[in-house]
Amino acid sequence: MKKTARAHTNIALVKYWGKKDQDLIIPMNSSLSLTLDHFYTDTTVEFSDRFSADTFTLNGQAKANDQVSAFLDLVRQKAGINTYAKVESINHVPTQAGLASSASAYAALALAASAASGLTLTKPELSRLARRGSGSACRSIYGGFVEWQMGHDDLTSYAKPFQEEVDWDICMLAIVLNAKQKKISSRGGMQTVVKTSPYYPAWVKTCQADIKAIKEAILAKDFVKLGTIAEENAMKMHALNLSASPHFNYFEPETLVAMQLVEELRQAGVACYYTLDAGPNVKVLCLKKDVTIIKQKLATVFEPDQLLLATPGPGAHLLA
Ligand code: PMV
């Protein structure tokens, strides 16, 4: 009853921002992401009668395990077992770098825990399980471009692959500006926005159109269209935060510096676009052929070790 799984992070190009159901994590809008190769989590789960409590280590250090235990309860319930588990995770994602480590973490935990408990879940079932840990995790079950179809309840809300094999030189350059804990959790932030932003209905409505348009851009390999939609969608999400009561934002001064450098590159004819999540770090979408020139420009302000390059990556899989 011991299994190890690897899951990669994903970056949303059309974001999930707001829940219909807090407990089941049913979103207000569908979202679409790209799974990345460079950042991932390896998790080993062992269920055994020898254990007298659940334990959880992250990168070798013991961590509070309330959330992990609550997630394991879902697995135990499905599998009809009541044994405790030892969970060991190694995070190959800069921790709290705003690179959605919760997505790879809960996707890896869902796969390792369900397999270790003796369950054989279908991918939609696995995606639904991962969703209960962190919404974005349901998309990391698949590689490449993935759509989380919002659905309306636990059974109908899960991710589907849109294009698993990406034969396109699309890349993401993450600019790691600040590895500090985020000011406002995504959970808290999106809840405030749903309740108070006067623009929220417009967000939900335009996300539907953004999903449709970005799928067309992916199929046509139209990078300018894809980047434009992704950047505008990210800015709409951050505009919701600015229009909430109380208002909040995830920007640091360097966030705006990075955004401006990307805009200058674009003015100079280089196709590159930024996106941002619930943290200050900027992720630049670009094509492989432009990485060198983009890095040169960013290196006028940032250190080389702040720039991390990723390309499309695979879905969650068992290692042992
Ligand atoms: O899954 P959570 O609770 O970490 O929320 C993720 C929210 C964003 O990263 C901002 C957007 C997204 O769709 O991943």
pLDDT tens by residue, the chain, 320 residues: 999 999 999 999 999 999 999 999 999 999 999 999 999 999 999 999 999 999 999 999 999 889 999 999 999 999 999 999 999 999 998 755 556 689 999 999 999 999 999 999 999 999 999 999 999 999 999 999 999 999 999 999 999 999 999 999 999 999 988 766 667 889 999 999 999 999 999 999 999 999 999 999 999 999 999 999 999 999 999 999 999 999 999 999 999 999 999 999 999 999 999 999 998 999 999 999 999 999 999 999 999 989 999 999 999 999 98
Q: How far apart are CA 215 and CA 146, in angstroms?
A: 10
Checking DSSP bridges between strand 84-92 and strand 31-48, what pairing results, if any? Answer: antiparallel
| 109, 136, 138, best to mutate for ligand 1 pocket (most atoms within 8 Å of CB) | 136
DSSP at 185: -
Q: Are 242 and 249 in contact (CB under 8 A)?
A: yes
Ligand 1, atom nearest to 16 Cα: 13
Ligand 1, atom nearest to 10 Cα: 14
pTM as predicted: 0.96
Helical segments of 134-252, H only: 186-196, 200-219, 223-242
Q: Are 39 and 1 in contact (CB under 8 A)?
A: no
CA atoms within 13 A on the CB side of 111: 29
Nearest one of 25, 27, 65, 19 to 43, comparing CA atoms:
65
Q: Are 249 and 223 in contact (CB under 8 A)?
A: no
| 41, 277, 281, 283, best to mutate for ligand 1 pocket (most atoms within 8 Å of CB) | 277
DSSP at 181: P
Sign of CA dihedral 270, 271, 277, 283: negative
34: tokens are: 């790209």
Q: What is the pLDDT of residue 238?
A: 98
Tell how far CA 279 is from the center of its chain: 12
Distance 81 CA to ligand 1 centre (A): 31
Helix or strand holding residue 135 (H, E):
none
Ligand 1, atom nearest to 187 Cα: 3
Distance 318 CA to ligand 1 centre (A): 24
Q: What is the pLDDT of residue 32?
A: 98
Distance 133 CA to ligand 1 centre (A): 12
Q: Are 40 and 103 in contact (CB under 8 A)?
A: no
Q: Which residues line ligand 1 (CB under 6 A)?
A: 12, 15-17, 31, 100, 102, 134-136, 186-187, 277-278
Whose C-alpha lies nearest to ligand 1, atom 8? 277
Burial class (CB in 10 A: 0-12, 13-18, 19+), 292: exposed
Q: What is the pLDDT of residue 100?
A: 62
Number of other residues whose CB lies within 10 A of the CB of residue 169: 15
Q: How far apart are CA 138 and CA 144, in angstroms?
A: 13
How far is CA 61 from each of CA 65, 67, 312, rounded to the nearest angstrom? 12, 16, 30
Nearest one of 193, 291, 318, 302 to 254, comparing CA atoms:
302
Distance 154 CA to ligand 1 centre (A): 18
Q: What is the pLDDT of residue 298?
A: 98
> Which residue bears the tokens 């670009």?
286
191: tokens are: 């809840």
Distance 236 CA to ligand 1 centre (A): 14
Ligand 1, atom nearest to 11 Cα: 14
Phi, psi for 274 (deg, rounded to 5): -105, 155
Q: How far apart are CA 114 and CA 24, in angstroms?
A: 18
